[in-house]
A and B are shown apart, each in its own frame.
Chain A
């Protein structure tokens, strides 16, 4: 356990030193405060709009940003150390492969979690002062918690990439493709399926398909509780057949645990 914490501490400080924590927090805070204030600008008004609109716009923004940031932060965690030779050295230390991986995960995961909490939390506080509605904190804690899980999930996925390739530049390429597939292509494919299949696919089948993408689970978590008037597209269909929040959160958790387990497995078999 001490070993894990030593690695985690180092990774966390790297995140601070490289200004990752500050930049991510700033991005999240600026965008969320901006959306909170100017989300209604399209309808001609400036000022705080309804809670559900705000959370809906924040969620559709976060679903692109968080995976991208998590992948950027962690794609070189292993392949980078392999290239510089420190990975081999670390493995001659009394430190197991799973300890190293979990340590990195805790360190980098804390950066993402903390940035998400502060960044989006700030707009929750702002909204509370404007609206004075304590409902805000319940909605935002669901939003922030699921956003953190989404970030952790993509951190774990980027470890898969980092452990499977042998060059840093390849890892960067794969990270970009992964982001594109999960954040954009998957939804387009779902839409195409909805429109293209004549007899129509059942709602439950569609929801099951969405479980294959952590980004979509994140969307479901945050949009299910809102007025369906704020939601459109494939999601609206899925929401009507929605699973309980508990089930959705366990699915997100599985998307953290599963890639992490597979990453440990790959790491153990990796040739050095």
Chain B
């Protein structure tokens, strides 16, 4: 059996009165890419810190590569873990190469690897310049190079694409795919959702320290039971006239049919039988909609429980 690289069992972290992370159970297998989504203060960073072993869990247990990451035994595993913090400004007065060489040395590598990594993230031209002259995107690339030191088995990336231009973002996702095919596991932490979908295996949605949903995109879509948007072109008015089809029409988008997943094929077949049909767009709910769905579900639940509490 394949043992999970990271496993959290009812893990939680509290600071005085604040429950930063309530109780999370999750596994991350080898070569798996997990997307971790949530608003600010949802507990994403706390969860990353737990996995990194920088803080110890208040409840439950955390295991990385079969060991508690905050223990002494896990020390040598740390060189196999890469981390990109959300807000980091590297030593401004040092050059990019000096910064990366310092971090590479701390992980037991040398200057040569640092140069190679800078080439990989595409800032070789600026490596002799002090970091204070770098743009936001270049700093982010330097941070990524830092996280990639030593081909880590586990990568934790907090908002990796913030400040990157579209080409750099594409390069970044290519690197993630490449690391994945080499057997590395990645946890991507983000609230920027578009573009990330095709690169993650599973998604996790957190809000106020609670795990709202976890699974593959397919599973999450099913759980959310969000309708598929079908937009036929060229059928002037005949959809509205059809008694079977017009029930799927909504008032705010008159041309689009919102169809539940299990009726999708039946509706499509029926639409195809219309001869006037020019074109057809079928769009399943995207990650952003799924995310919004779970968040609003959670908010409604919280509000109703608050009201109940106020009444009782």
B89 with A94: CB separation less than 8 A: no
Does the CB pair A93–B106 fall under 8 Å?
A: yes
Determine the chain B residues whose CB is within 8 A of the CB of A22 once the complex forms: none
Partner of A94, one of B15, B85, B107, B146: B107
A: interface residue count bin: 20 to 34
Chain B residues with Cβ below 8 Å from A10 are 102
Contact between B87 and A94, CB atoms less than 8 A apart: no
Does any Cβ of B come within 8 Å of A3's Cβ? yes
Q: What B residues does A272 contact at CB under 8 A? A: 49, 54-55
Residues from chain B with a CB closer than 8 A to the CB of A88 are: 49, 54, 85, 88
Which residue of the partner chain, among B54, B87, B93, contacts A92 with CB atoms under 8 Å? Answer: B54
Alpha-carbon distance between A86 and B103 when the two chains are bound, in angstroms: 10
Question: Is B239 interfacial (CB-CB < 8 Å)?
Answer: no
A91 touches B93 (CB 8 A): no
Chain B residues whose C-beta falls within 8 Å of the C-beta of A92 in the assembled complex: 52-54, 78, 81, 83
- Compute how far the CA of A93 lies from the CA of B82 in the bound complex, rounded to whole angstroms: 9
Q: Please, which residues of chain B bring their CB within 8 A of the CB of A90?
A: 106
With the chains together, A6 CA to B101 CA distance in Å?
A: 10
The size of the chain B interface, using a CB distance under 8 A, is 27
Which residues from chain A contact B93 at a C-beta distance below 8 Å? 14, 17-18
| Inter-subunit contact B88/A93 (CB<8 Å) | no
Q: Is the CB of B78 within 8 A of A85?
A: no
Query: How long is the Cα–Cα vector from A95 to B89 in the complex, in angstroms?
Result: 20
In the assembled complex, B90 has its CB within 8 A of some CB on chain A: yes
Binary contact readout A225-256 vs B (1 if CB under 8 angstroms, 0 otherwise): 00000000000000000000000000000000
Q: How far is the CB of B139 from chain A (nearest CB, A)?
A: 11
The CA of A88 and the CA of B45, in the complex, are separated in Å by: 12
Please give me the residue from chain B that is nearest to A17 by CB atom: B93
Contacts of B54 in A (CB 8 A): 88, 91-92, 272
Min C-beta distance of A168 to chain B, whole Å? 13
CA distance A166 to B130 in the complex (A): 27
Instruction: Please tell me if the beta carbons of B75 and A94 are within 8 angstroms of each other in the complex.
Output: yes
- Known contacts A89-B85, A92-B54, A94-B107; decide if A84 and B90 are in contact (CB<8 Å): yes
B301 proximal to A (CB < 8 A): no
A77 to chain B, nearest CB (A): 12
Are the CB atoms of B87 and A93 closer together than 8 Å? no
Complex alpha-carbon distance, A96 and B78, angstroms: 11
Interface of chain A residues 108 through 134 with chain B (CB within 8 A)? none
Max count, chain A CB within 10 A of own CB: residue among B88, B93, B102, B106: B106
* Cα of A83 to Cα of B102 in the assembled complex, Å: 19
Contact with A6, one of B53, B55, B85, B105 (Cβ below 8 angstroms): B105
A6 near B102 (CB under 8 angstroms)? yes
B33 to chain A, nearest CB (A): 20
**Interface code A52-85, partner B: CB below 8 Å = 1, 0 otherwise?**
0000000000000000000000000000000011
- Are A93 and B49 interface neighbours, CB within 8 A? no
In angstroms, Cα B113 to Cα A17, docked, is: 24
State the CA gap A95–B81 with chains docked (Å): 13
In the complex the two chains form, is A85's CB within 8 Å of B87's CB?
yes
- Give B72's nearest chain A residue, CB to CB: A96
B55 touches A89 (CB 8 A): no
A3: nearest chain-B partner, CB-CB: B106
Which residue of B15, B91, B94 is within 8 Å of A271 (Cβ)? B15
Q: How far is the CA of A254 from the CA of B297 in the complex (A)?
A: 61
Residues of A within 8 A of B55 (CB): 271-272
| A105 vs chain B, min Cβ distance (A) | 17
Chain A contacts of B105 at CB under 8 A? Answer: 6
Q: Is B76 an interface residue (CB 8 A)?
A: yes
Determine if B79 is an interface residue (Cβ-Cβ < 8 Å). Answer: yes
C-alpha spacing A69/B287, complex, angstroms: 56
> Is the Cβ of A85 less than 8 Å from the Cβ of B76?
no
Q: How far is the CA of A96 from the CA of B53 in the complex (A)?
A: 12
Which A residue's beta carbon lies closest to that of B45? A88
Contact between chains at B78 and A84 (CB < 8 Å): no
In Å, the complex CA distance between A232 and B15 comes to 55
B90 with A94: CB separation less than 8 A:
no
Q: Tell me the B116-135 residues at the A interface (CB within 8 Å).
A: none
* CB contact list, B29-73 vs A, under 8 A: 49, 52-55
Q: How far is the CB of A269 from chain B (nearest CB, A)?
A: 12
Q: Which A residues are in CB contact (< 8 Å) with B75?
A: 94, 96
Residues of B within 8 Å of A94, CB to CB, are 75-76, 78-79, 106-108
Contact (Cβ within 8 A) A85 B88:
yes
- Which chain A residues lie closer than 8 Å to B52 at the CB level? 92
Q: Shortest CB–CB separation between residue A98 and chain B, in angstroms?
A: 12
The distance in angstroms between the C-alpha atoms of A3 and B79, with both chains bound, is 12
Compute how far the CA of A90 lies from the CA of B146 in the bound complex, rounded to whole angstroms: 11
Residues of chain A lying within 8 A (CB to CB) of residue B103:
93
Q: Beyond A89-B83, A91-B54, A92-B81, list 14 extra A-B contacts (CB 8 Å).
A: A6-B106, A14-B91, A84-B90, A88-B49, A88-B54, A89-B146, A92-B52, A92-B53, A92-B83, A93-B79, A94-B75, A94-B76, A94-B106, A272-B55
Q: Please list the residues of chain A having a beta carbon within 8 angstroms of any beta carbon in chain B.
A: 3, 6-7, 10, 14, 17-18, 84-86, 88-96, 271-272
Can you list 14 A-B contacts with CB-CB less than 8 angstroms, sorted by A residue number?
A6-B102, A6-B106, A7-B106, A85-B87, A85-B88, A86-B90, A88-B54, A88-B88, A91-B54, A92-B78, A94-B75, A94-B78, A94-B107, A271-B55
